[in-house]
Amino acid sequence: FHHHFMPPNFYGFAPPATLFVIDLDHFKQINDNLGHEAGDAVLVATAERIRQAIRASDTVARYGGDEFVVLVVDILNEADVLGLGEKLCNLLREPVPWRASVLQATCSLGIALCPDNGESFNALFQQADRAMYQVKERGRNGAALADAN
């Protein structure tokens, strides 16, 4: 994943890019109450839904536990970025079929823009992660854009 963040002068320019950090809300409760098989069903559905929502040129990775990162290139304005964030939240909010029932999960999503919030993976991740925690503090189940540096 980090190889997507070559120094800007490697390409001769810094293309606009957006990093989304997605954390599933209350995921631990699904694992603790229903078992890891249920948690795995939610993770697989999450990954599939994210892949369906982004372009083939974009990148998605499970970053750990219940956290995913998405790198989207060439989104030029905040309205489009926030629109994709809301689309991802809505998709991940849909029920996940599991056995004879369904599982419900929501997500908290933070968004950082390159170059506004940084030009390295670490800088963008830090800003998107901070925005994601702001969503959690406001009650979860939503998206927020990182503050400009």
Catalytic residues, by residue number, are: 66
User: What is the C-alpha separation between 49 and 56, in angstroms, rounded?
Assistant: 13
Phi, psi (5° rounding) for residue 107? -140, 155
User: What is the C-alpha separation between 19 and 35, in angstroms, rounded?
Assistant: 31
Q: Are 125 and 20 in contact (CB under 8 A)?
A: no
